[in-house]
Amino acid sequence: MTTPADNAAEVLRGGGIIAYPTEGVFGLGCLPNELAAVLRILDIKQRDPSKGLILIAANPSQLHEWIDLPDNACLPDPDPNNPVTWIVPATQQVTAAVRGDNAGIAVRITTNPVAQAICLSAQSPIVSTSANLSGQAVAEDQASLRRQFAALVDYVVPGDCGPSLGPSEIRILATGEVLRPR
Residue 167 has what pLDDT? 86
Q: How far apart are CA 159 and CA 106, in angstroms?
A: 24
Q: How far apart are CA 158 and CA 93, in angstroms?
A: 31
Mean pLDDT for each consecutive 10-residue tract of the chain (182 residues)?
96 98 95 97 95 97 95 90 94 94 95 97 97 87 94 97 88 89 82
Residue 67 has what pLDDT? 97
**Domain architecture of the chain: domains with CATH:** 4-180 (3.90.870.10)
Residue 131 has what pLDDT? 95
Residue 53 has what pLDDT? 97
Q: How far apart are CA 99 and CA 16, in angstroms?
A: 19
By CB neighbour count within 10 A (0-12 exposed, 13-18 middle, 19+ buried), where does 15 fall? middle
**Are 23 and 110 spatial neighbours (Cβ–Cβ below 8 Å)?**
yes
Q: Enumerate residues 6+ apart whose C-beta is below 8 A from 60.
A: 74, 75, 109
